[in-house]
């Protein structure tokens, strides 16, 4: 189990609740990778510095605490520039991983299909390329973290060889992913011709999409109380009132989802664009449910899915009060309350879904 120290951050102008939620998510991401959090610190700053993100005094203060706890790595809840990352590694004497890098590592752990693995590797290499350092390469060599393959060669510095080989591998991956995307497009066209409606389950990570898919279709998709336990799109069928319906479980979203990951998974995410109806699933028990919807909706809008009919699905509603349900209903026009785990509210959901699909045919 890897030992880590976590650094949270809030700028004076930022919302405190948002910053603390982000910090909490970072700890969840670390635990998803079975990391042991040996210490943590939360810093409030006016503005990030160009060289180290934090001021000199705060960097030195954290350096003492980090040295005393001796973690293998430091996680920072911020998107660090390559310069900031290298300087913090030098100051703290160990590899530093920012929020984006940690999310990519979680994706790397959970990718199971060949396409998912290609997409994650592409995102990982694009992330690592500008951040290469001797310390990172040494850590990867020790742990098998994806950098050791680029350490071979003689007559040149290892880091120069690594950069060249990573660029070459990126080109290969991009070509492979392009071929997979074409194949996916062909399959999508065939489905459209078959006149079988497709319903995509989307939403914030760990909202219960996979559990809902299992309850709706009798599938046996892996469900875990961990962030990003599902990365690869899973499609299952169900017959409802004589109509065959395809349900697709998709990768979950999270605030500040790395741009490289969105780009690498774009062909997978764009499957949503073929949907007849979108089920936007959210965790009704989470105090931050409105923000979760906002984050997921922003990504859907960026993909061009804003015109697809949508039903909101408030999952885990058996754990919230009637008053809370009324509050949620007052904010959302079309919401169905369900418990995917307890299989409650599914008839209501299927009924509303059927109405939406019928309306599309009229």
Q: Are 73 and 95 in contact (CB under 8 A)?
A: yes
Main-chain dihedrals φ then ψ at residue 39, nearest 5 degrees: -175, 160
- Is residue 179 in a domain? no
Digit-coded pLDDT (tens) for 270-283: 778 889 999 999 99
pLDDT at 226 over 60: no
pTM across the whole model: 0.82
Q: Report the pLDDT averaged over residues 183-209.
A: 84
Locate 226 and state its tokens.
């961990």
Neighbours of 271 (CB within 10 A): 19
CB under 8 Å, gap of 24 or more: what pairs does 167-170 form?
A: 167/129, 169/121, 169/125, 170/122, 170/125, 170/126, 170/129
The pLDDT assigned to 263 comes to 76
Q: Report the pLDDT averaged over residues 210-215.
A: 93
Using the 3D structure, point to which of 111, 142, 162 is the last residue of a domain. Answer: 111
Residue 336: band (very low, low, confident or very high) from pLDDT cuts 50, 70, 90: very high
- Is residue 213 in a domain? yes
Q: Say yes or no: 344 and 201 in one domain.
A: yes
What is the C-alpha to C-alpha distance for residues 286 and 183, in angstroms, rounded to an integer? 38
Coil, strand or helix at 346: helix
Q: Say yes or no: 105 and 201 in one domain.
A: no
Q: Are 258 and 244 in contact (CB under 8 A)?
A: no
CATH of the domain at 245: 3.40.50.300
Stretch among 167-176, 197-206, 263-272, 318-327 having the lowest mean pLDDT: 263-272
Locate 124 and state its tokens.
């990982």
Q: Are 11 and 45 in contact (CB under 8 A)?
A: yes
Listing DSSP states for 269-300 in one string gives: HGGGGG-SEEEEEEETT-TTHHHHHHHHHHHH
Q: Say yes or no: 93 and 242 in one domain.
A: no
Digit-coded pLDDT (tens) for 21-78: 999 999 999 999 999 999 999 999 889 999 999 999 999 999 999 999 999 999 999 9
- Is residue 44 in a domain? yes
- Is residue 177 in a domain? no
Burial class (CB within 10 angstroms; exposed 0-12, middle 13-18, buried 19+) of 4: buried
Listing DSSP states for 140-174 in one string gives: HHHHT-S-GGG---SSS-HHHHHHHHHHHHHHHHH
Q: Say yes or no: 237 and 103 in one domain.
A: no
The pLDDT assigned to 154 comes to 41
Digit-coded pLDDT (tens) for 144-161: 555 445 444 444 577 888
pLDDT at 81 over 70: yes
- Is residue 146 in a domain? no
Using the 3D structure, point to which of 76, 111, 146 is the last residue of a domain. Answer: 111
Using the 3D structure, point to which of 90, 111, 132 is the last residue of a domain. Answer: 111
Q: Say yes or no: 87 and 207 in one domain.
A: no
- Is residue 9 in a domain? yes
Return the bridge partners of 200, or none: 248, 278
Residue 214: band (very low, low, confident or very high) from pLDDT cuts 50, 70, 90: very high
Higher confidence at residue 359 or residue 238?
238
- Is residue 190 in a domain? no
Q: Say yes or no: 202 and 309 in one domain.
A: yes
Q: Say yes or no: 85 and 202 in one domain.
A: no
pLDDT at 116 over 90: no
- HSE-up of residue 64 (Cα within 13 Å, Cβ side): 5
Structural domain containing residue 50: 3-111
- Is residue 181 in a domain? no
Q: Say yes or no: 7 and 102 in one domain.
A: yes
CATH of the domain at 40: 3.40.50.11060
Unique residue bearing structure tokens 């880091």: 159
Q: Are 292 and 283 in contact (CB under 8 A)?
A: yes
Label residue 243 left, alpha or beta by phi (over 0 means left) and psi (-120 to 50 means alpha): beta
Q: Say yes or no: 89 and 207 in one domain.
A: no
Q: Say yes or no: 93 and 202 in one domain.
A: no
pLDDT at 330 over 70: yes
DSSP H helical segments within the chain, as ranges?
A: 16-32, 56-69, 82-92, 99-110, 114-128, 134-143, 158-194, 209-217, 259-264, 266-269, 289-303, 322-331, 346-361
Cβ-based neighbours of 14, under 8 Å, separated by 6 or more: none
Number of domain units in the chain: 2
DSSP state of 35: -
Residue 137: band (very low, low, confident or very high) from pLDDT cuts 50, 70, 90: low
């Amino acid at each position: 189990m890897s030992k880590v120290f976590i650094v949270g951050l809030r700028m004076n102008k930022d919302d405190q609740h948002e910053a603390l939620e982000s910090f909490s998510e970072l700890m969840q991401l670390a635990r998803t990778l079975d990391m042991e959090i040996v210490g943590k610190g939360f810093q409030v700053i006016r503005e990030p510095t160009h060289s180290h993100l934090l001021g000199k005094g705060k960097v030195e203060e954290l350096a003492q605490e980090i040295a005393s706890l001796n973690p293998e790595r430091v996680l920072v809840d911020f998107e660090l520039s390559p310069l900031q990352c290298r300087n913090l590694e030098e100051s703290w004497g160990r590899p530093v991983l920012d929020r984006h890098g940690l999310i990519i590592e979680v994706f790397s752990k959970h990718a199971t299909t060949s396409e998912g693995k290609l997409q994650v590797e592409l995102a990982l290499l694009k992330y690592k390329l500008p951040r290469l350092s001797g310390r990172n390469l040494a850590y990867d060599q020790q742990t098998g973290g994806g950098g050791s393959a680029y350490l071979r060669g003689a007559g040149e510095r290892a880091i120069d060889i690594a950069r060249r080989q990573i660029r070459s591998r990126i080109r290969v991956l991009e070509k492979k992913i392009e071929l997979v995307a074409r194949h996916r497009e062909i399959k999508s066209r065939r489905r459209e011709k078959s006149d079988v409606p497709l319903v995509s389950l989307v939403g914030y990570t760990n909202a219960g999409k996979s559990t809902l898919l299992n309850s709706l279709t009798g599938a046996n998709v892996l469900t875990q109380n961990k962030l990003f336990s599902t990365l690869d799109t899973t499609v299952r069928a169900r017959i409802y009132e004589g109509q065959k319906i395809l349900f697709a479980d998709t990768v979950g979203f999270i605030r500040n989802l790395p741009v490289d990951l969105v780009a690498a998974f774009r062909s997978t995410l764009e499957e949503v664009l073929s949907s007849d109806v979108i089920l936007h699933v959210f965790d009704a028990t989470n105090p931050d449910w409105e923000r979760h919807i906002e984050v997921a909706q922003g990504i859907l809008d960026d993909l061009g899915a804003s015109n697809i009919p949508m039903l909101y699905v408030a999952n885990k509603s058996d754990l919230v009060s009637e008053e809370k349900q009324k509050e949620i209903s007052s904010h959302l026009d079309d919401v169905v309350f369900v418990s995917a785990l307890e299989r409650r509210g599914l008839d209501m959901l299927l009924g509303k879904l059927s109405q939406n699909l019928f309306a599309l045919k009229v």
